[in-house]
Structure 1
Amino acid sequence: MKKIITMAAMAVTLSTAAQDTYQSAQLAGDDLNGTARYVGMGGAMEALGADLSTMGTNPAGIGMFRKSQASVSGGLQVFGGNYESNTLNSYLDGKKTTGSFDQIGFVLTTKAGHDSYLNFGFNFHKSKNFNQLLSAANSLNGASLNKVSFNKWKDVDTDHDFYEPSYSTVDWLNDQLVNPYTVDGDDKYVSSFNSYFHAKDFTQHQVQSGYIGDYDFNISGNIHNRIYLGLTFGIKDVNYESRSLYTETLLFENDIDEMGKMYLDDSRRITGTGFNVKFGAIVRPVDDSPFRIGAYVHTPTWYKLTTSNYTEMATEDFETGKITSISSEDHLDFRLNTPWLFGVSLGHTIGNVAAIGATYEYSDYGSLDNRVIDEDYYYDSWYDDYYYGGDRSTSDKAMKRNTEKSLQGVHTLRLGAELKLCPEVALRFGYNYVSPKYSEFGCRDTDIPSQGVEFASTAAYTNWKDTNRFTCGIGYAKGPFSIDVAYKYSQTNGDFYPFYDGIGKGEYTNNPGATSVSDKRHQLLMTLGFRF
Structure 2
Amino acid sequence: MKKKIMVLTVAGALASAAAAQNQYDALRFLGNDVNGTARFVGMGGAMSSLGADLSTIGTNPAGIGLYRSNDVALSFGFNANKSHSDFNGSVMDESRNRASFDQVGFVWSTKIGNKTDLRFLNFAFNYHKRVNFNRQFASKGGLNGNSLTWQMADMIDGAEDGNGGLFYQSEDDFYGSNGLLNADNPYMDRKYVGTPYLGAMGARTGLVDVKGDEDGNITDIYGWNGIDGEYYSRETGSVNEYDFNVSFNVRDRFYFGATLGVYDIDYLRYSSYGENLEGNSNFTLNNTYKTEGTGIDLKVGTIIRPFEYSPFRFGLAIHTPILYNMSDRYTSVLVTNLALENSTVSYTENLRDYLSGGQYVWDYRLITPWRFNVSVGTIVGGIMALDAEYEFENYSATKLQNAEGVELNGQSAIKETLKGVHSFRVGMETKVSSAFSVRAGYHFRSTPITSDAFKNIPVTDNTRTDAEYLNLKSRQAVSVGLGYRGRLVYADVAYKYDFYKGDFYAFDGGLDQSGNLLLSPTKVNNERHQLLFTIGVHF
What does residue 134 of structure 1 align with?
A: 137
Which amino acid letter does the alignment assign opposite residue 291 of structure 1? F
The answer to whether structure 1 residue 338 and structure 2 residue 365 are counterparts is no
Matched, 1:33 2:40: no
Q: Which runs of 5+ in 1 are unaligned?
A: 3-12, 252-257, 374-391
Q: Is 1:394 aligned with 2:384?
A: no
Q: Which residue of 1 aligns with 2:254?
A: 227
Structure 2 counterpart SS, 1:265: strand
Q: 3-state SS of the aligned residue for 1:490?
A: strand
Q: After TM superposition, give the deviation of residue 139 of structure 1 in Å.
A: 2.3
What are the equivalent positions in structure 2 for 1:105-184 lying under 5 Å apart?
105-114=105-114, 116-156=119-159, 157=166, 158=168, 167-168=194-195, 173=201
Per-residue displacement from partner, 1:139-158 (whole Å, max 9, x unpaired)?
22222111112123223424
Deviation of 1:309 (Å): 1.7
Matches within 5 A, 1:100-499: 100-114=100-114, 116-156=119-159, 157=166, 158=168, 167-168=194-195, 173=201, 194-251=221-278, 258-317=279-338, 323-328=346-351, 329-373=359-403, 392-396=404-408, 398-448=409-459, 450=460, 453-499=461-507
Aligned to 1:379: none
**Matched residue pairs, number?**
481
CA contact (8 A) 2:155 2:196 kept: no
Query: What is the CA distance between 1:403 and its match in structure 2?
Result: 1.1
Match of 1:512 among 506, 515, 519: 519
Please give the secondary structure, in 2, of the residue aligned with 1:151: helix
TM-score (norm 2): 0.83
1:365 and 1:98 map into 2 onto residues whose CA distance is: 30
Q: Distance in 2 between matches of 1:418 and 1:33?
A: 17
Which of 52, 55, 58 lines up with 1:56 in the alignment? 58
Instruction: Give the Å deviation of 1:340.
Output: 0.9
In 2, the alpha carbon distance for the partners of 1:209 and 1:289 equals 47
Kindly provide the amino acid, as one letter, of the partner of residue 122 in structure 1: F
Match of 2:69 among 58, 67, 70: 67
- CA change 1:173–1:154 in 2 (3 A) is closer
Name the structure 1 match of 2:179. none
Give the Cα separation in 2 of the matches to 1:471 and 1:114.
38
Q: 1:143 is aligned with what amino acid?
A: N
Does the CA-based 8 Å contact 1:486-1:526 persist in structure 2? yes
- Is residue 2:25 matched to residue 1:23? yes
Task: Give the deviation of 1:425 after TM superposition.
Answer: 0.2
Specify the code of the residue in structure 2 equivalent to 1:20. N
Where do 5+ consecutive residues of structure 2 fail to align? Answer: 2-13, 87-91, 160-165, 175-190, 352-358
Aligned twin of 1:385 = none
One-letter amino acid of the structure 1 residue matched with residue 416 of structure 2: K
TM-score by length of 1: 0.84
Displacement after TM superposition at 1:175 (Å): 12
Query: 518, 527, 531: which one pairs with 2:534?
Result: 527
- Give the Cα–Cα distance (whole angstroms) in 2 for the partners of residues 446 and 180 of structure 1: 17
- On the 8 A contact 1:232/1:278 being kept in 2, the answer is yes
Over the matched positions of the two proteins, sequence identity in percent amounts to: 33
Q: Distance in 2 between matches of 1:274 and 1:482?
A: 33
Asked if the contact 2:73/2:104 (under 8 Å) is kept, the reply is: yes
In terms of mean alpha carbon deviation, does 29-38 or 349-358 score higher? Answer: 349-358
Q: Which moves more between the two structures, 240-249 or 61-70?
A: 240-249
Letter in 1 for 2:100: S
Q: 1:175 to 1:235 in 2, by over 3 A?
A: farther
Q: 1:132 to 1:320 in 2, by over 3 A?
A: farther
